[in-house]
Amino acid sequence: MNKNLKCPVDFVTINENQARLTALQVVLLIIIWLFTEQSIVFVFLIVDFLLRASNYGNYSILNRISIYLIRNFSIANKPVERGPKRFAALVGLIFTMSITVLSLSDVIIPSKTLAFVLLIFASLEAFVGFCAGCYVYTFFTLLLKKIKFGNQLASK
């Protein structure tokens, strides 16, 4: 892992395989939406991302399905820090809310573009175990530092 990355941590581990199965379900739901444009898909994803981002992942339907699959197919537990996954769920929540608003406003190209970006991130997690959460978190922390530093210079 890149030494310059700063990842959010909460000192709780989760099963990476469960996170990847959940991401796979997100991929499938986004593909369904891209073909059907049924708003209910993203309304469901908003609720699910909200639960996972706000530490209520046990109530997430997608997580419950992942747990069921892990138990029934005897998929190994691979411990990983939960913080980056929760942050990624928060980013997913922001994306799904934006996509839903744009879609309901008939702003089709931007909504599909955002859905495609979310599809790429979820696919990276699902298929290769790459969580972009640390990269996005590092970018935003550096951006906030620059903004704060710029505001301090402006106030002098």
Is residue 145 in some structural domain? no
User: By the 8 A CB rule, do 147 and 69 touch?
Assistant: no
In a domain, 59, yes or no: yes
- What pLDDT, on a 0 to 100 scale, did the predictor assign at position 92? 96
Report yes or no on 8 lying in a domain: no
Q: In the chain, at which residue ranges do the beta strands (DSSP E only) sit? A: 13-15, 79-81
> What pLDDT shows up at residue 154?
66
Number of domains composing the chain: 1
Q: What average pLDDT does this structure show over 89-110?
A: 96
pLDDT at 134 over 60: yes
Vertex 97, ends 138 and 134: CA angle to 5°? 15
Looking at residue 57, its pLDDT comes to 92
Q: Determine the residue type at 90.
A: L
Q: Which residues are paired to 14 by β-bridges?
A: 80
Mean pLDDT of all residues in the chain? 92
As a whole number of angstroms, the distance between CA 80 and CA 25 comes to 19
Does residue 35 form part of some domain?
A: yes
Q: Cα 148 to the chain's mean position, in Å? A: 26
Is 56 part of any domain?
Answer: yes
> Does residue 30 lie in a domain region?
yes
pTM: 0.88
Q: Count of CB atoms within 10 A of residue 147's CB?
A: 10
46 domain residue, yes or no: yes
Whether 138 is in a domain gets the answer no
Say whether pLDDT at 156 is over 80.
Answer: no
Q: What does residue 10 show for φ and ψ, rounded to 5 degrees?
A: -130, 10
Strand partners, 15: 79
Domain that holds residue 115: 13-131
pLDDT at 2: 61
CB under 8 Å to 3, separation ≥6 — which residues? Answer: none
Q: How confident is the model at residue 148 (pLDDT cuts 50, 70, 90)?
A: confident
